[in-house]
Amino acid sequence: MSNFYKSLRKSMKKLSVCIIAKNEEKMLGGCIDSVSGVADEIIVVDTGSSDRTIEIAKSKNCIVIESEWRDDFSYSRNISIEAASGEFILALDADERIVNPQELLDTINRAKPNDGGWLVDLVSSSEIDSKVLQSYSSKILRLFRRHPNIRFEGVIHEQIVYNIVKSNFKVLNSKIKILHLGYDLSPEQLRSKQLRNLELLNRSLAIDPNNAYNLTHRAKTLNALGRNQEAHGDYVKALEVLPSDNKMRTRTLNSGASNAYKLARYDIAEQWALESYNLLEKQSLANYILGEIYFNQKKFDLALKHYLLMREAQVGEKDFIAAVSGDYFVPLDHLAYKIGRCYFFLEDYSKASAEYNHSFELNSQNVLGLIGLANIAFNLRRYDESRKMLEFAISIDPQKTEIHDFLKKVDIATKGIRSSEINLAADSQPSNRATLSVCMIVKNEEEMLAGCLESVAKVADEIVITDTGSTDKTVEIAQSYGAKVCHFQWIDDFSAARNHSLQHCTGDWILYIDADERLSDESQGYIKAYIANALPEIGGMICTVESAHYQMDGSNEVHRGGYPRLFRNLGYPKVKFIGRVHEQISPSIVDAGLNFAISDIKIIHLGYDQSREIMEEKIRRNYKMLLAHVQEEPLNGYAWFQLGQTLAQMGISKEAEEAIRFAINCKNLTNTVLASASAALAQMVGKSGNFLESLEWAEKSLSLSPNQLFTLVLKGSALLNLHRPKEALETFSEALAIAKSGARTINSQSAAFDVDISEDVILKGIERAKAMLGLA
């Protein structure tokens, strides 16, 4: 115990901290350190560790009790209580930290003889994206008086509050805060923990099948495992058991409503969220769910009402029942943006503007408010103002592609700028005959397939479809378009399925496309001219894939990337895909000594224009396959790079950055991917304010692919923030020269895609650099 706390503790009551742990070598030390300054003794009950948990506990002077794990959390917790000698006990887990230890001391020092337990704030946080943090906070009883009748009950999600009340003690609120880091685990660790919890809950419910508390927790565990339909059944049963006037019912109603929303059962989600709201108006979660539902239903007045109530619940005095039930919080800057959107669609631009400004004032790194202000200006035909807002947003977050797309829209409105001209006219005739095979893999795509085939029917000399186990009308639809249908058993490997399809292709060139994609109308007109006039050294064409991404706020964003979707048929296995997921064709083309050319061919991808629930399922699917890939090939840099990208989509930013760093350290990435990985790290560390490292990674990327406009802008921005305006001016000038040159071909060492940066953005960087040099 530190001398500071020793001096404070002279007149205070004795505190025992009780921890149960198993294989917690990564977490335990931090937990102990958070209480070592205020605890008179720390007791660690180890339930069978095979790592350094016991060694760490002993090195920090803890009392260690080794006990057999009996699939019963209460049993283990009560062992620690029996060993405690303090007048008060604080129960902690290894993945928790006391945030305000002085408040803990003050609480027990103020305790009266009939005070038996205190509720603390347990806060868990996770990222929605790099700028939005969502939090879940609940009141839980962790601090209590040592008494022979006060013991935990329940094999999992153990409770002690009832025994405190039965012993005629009071339960009070407190300001003590505990930070829970339990969700800061790898996805496989989280899954293992949830499966263990599910097994224990199943055992408890086999004994007491109508226990609403355990039914709710089992449903939440099933949610965490992605088994939402099963969870719905448990929520229904729990609500049948709970009294209709019990305010604690809000816990089950809110979790059930969130689950129903994921299942697209919006009527039930609305019904349960409204019931929760009527039971307890001053809460966040029910109001948030209702706000999301009504916004997506375009009932903007009702959405506004509930978003405002949510803000009131977050900034005002917390309702005790809401706190005990567990409540949900999003950053106030993000909430202000949601409120501003409602005012915008209600055409109250004055209030919308105030909320968007408030959003940016609360968080100057969140550009949503600036985009909202630009949208208001655009609707009011104040195009110069709109452009300035967007350029400012780009200076903060240059990789956010929808800002660049919006800026183009402004340019079109003000200057009548046409879309980029294509190299080959739509009516140009090929100089020689080249055949095209359209190659696909599908499963249960009856809703999407016909639209895809319609878009390629006029240009394909043959359509080859590998079906991986459809049970709907997919095969029938494919055959109606004259496709050659092959069958392949799905083995969680996209490359294996695509390579099976390649083996049946006979065309000179191959276009690979998915059922949820469409070859654009313009591209249908000149794709054959591209392959007929391709130079001999060109092995693949970089095509633009344009995707509409569903956002957390209910809006859609358009993303664009370049991929070699069109390539020469060199014959399998000379040309083949590699990688279980995010499969690549490029390495085999590079190995054949061929280069790539950038084309104007555009593919519209509809697969991301779906609900968050569907997208989360796709991300989980990709994560599963990528995890298998890195386990099979632990030094495959490309697999680690894609795993990092997927982790970033899952909002696990720290691990995403670590995965991409590991990918680079594998030292086996192609220059194409290494350039992209380096640029990704430049952007990641730049956002966190490490501009020197951002500059280093940008320069690494540019050394591999000198003509990347986006990475040049990243480099220029880093130099500006490092107060090196002369170099920044040179960098932005280089970017401007490349942008004006209109170069359309790249070699095998170049990046396969780049973000389309407008000249206005580059000129803005030049102006800032000149201003810093006093040349403006």
Looking at residue 421, its pLDDT comes to 30
Rank 19-28, 189-198, 735-744 by mean pLDDT and report only the highest.
19-28
Cα–Cα nearest to 178, from 31, 40, 9: 31
The residue-averaged pLDDT of 639-648 equals 78
The residue-averaged pLDDT of 401-409 equals 79
Q: What's the one-letter identity of residue 661? A: R
Lowest mean pLDDT among 172-176, 275-279, 595-599: 595-599
- Does position 714 have pLDDT exceeding 50, yes or no? yes
Higher pLDDT residue, 462 or 319?
462
The angle subtended at Cα 496 by Cα 493 and Cα 502, nearest 5°, is 140
- Does position 630 have pLDDT exceeding 80, yes or no? no
Radius of gyration (C-alpha) of the chain in whole angstroms: 30
- Does position 445 have pLDDT exceeding 80, yes or no? yes
- Does position 751 have pLDDT exceeding 70, yes or no? no
Looking at residue 669, its pLDDT comes to 82
- Does position 514 have pLDDT exceeding 90, yes or no? yes
Looking at residue 12, its pLDDT comes to 64
Higher pLDDT residue, 402 or 488?
488
Higher pLDDT residue, 125 or 713?
713
Q: Which two tokens stand for residue 176?
A: 């003590």
Maximum C-alpha span of the chain: 96
- Does position 40 have pLDDT exceeding 90, yes or no? yes
Nearest-angstrom CA–CA distance, 718 and 683: 10
Looking at residue 429, its pLDDT comes to 41
**% helix, strand, coil for the chain, step of 5:** 50, 20, 30
Looking at residue 471, its pLDDT comes to 94
- Which pLDDT band, with edges at 50, 70 and 90, does 2 fall under? very low
The DSSP secondary structure of 2-30, one letter per residue, reads: -HHHHHHGGGSPPEEEEEEESS-TTTHHH
**What is the residue-averaged pLDDT of the chain?**
83
Looking at residue 82, its pLDDT comes to 95
What is the b/e burial string over 746-762, where b = at least 16 CB atoms within 10 angstroms of the residue's CB?
bebebbbbbbbbbeebb
3-state secondary structure of 292: helix
The residue-averaged pLDDT of 342-352 equals 91
CB 595, CB 648: distance < 8 Å: no
Share of the chain above pLDDT 90, in %: 41
- Does position 278 have pLDDT exceeding 70, yes or no? yes
Q: Which two tokens stand for residue 284?
A: 């966040």
Looking at residue 639, its pLDDT comes to 79
pLDDT digits (tens, 9 = 90+) for 51-94: 999 999 999 999 999 999 988 889 999 999 999 999 999 999 99
- Which pLDDT band, with edges at 50, 70 and 90, does 730 fall under? very high
Looking at residue 268, its pLDDT comes to 93
Looking at residue 550, its pLDDT comes to 47
Higher pLDDT residue, 368 or 137?
368
pLDDT digits (tens, 9 = 90+) for 149-198: 999 988 777 788 778 878 888 888 888 999 888 655 567 777 888 888 89
pLDDT digits (tens, 9 = 90+) for 297-307: 888 999 999 99
- Does position 326 have pLDDT exceeding 60, yes or no? no
Entry field: residues in the chain: 776
Q: Which two tokens stand for residue 760?
A: 């206005």
- Which pLDDT band, with edges at 50, 70 and 90, does 419 fall under? very low
Torsion of CA 623, 628, 631, 636, to 10 degrees: -70
The residue-averaged pLDDT of 532-543 equals 85
Looking at residue 548, its pLDDT comes to 62
Lowest mean pLDDT among 72-76, 162-166, 502-506, 510-514: 162-166
The residue-averaged pLDDT of 5-32 equals 80
pLDDT digits (tens, 9 = 90+) for 258-275: 899 888 888 999 999 999
Looking at residue 750, its pLDDT comes to 42
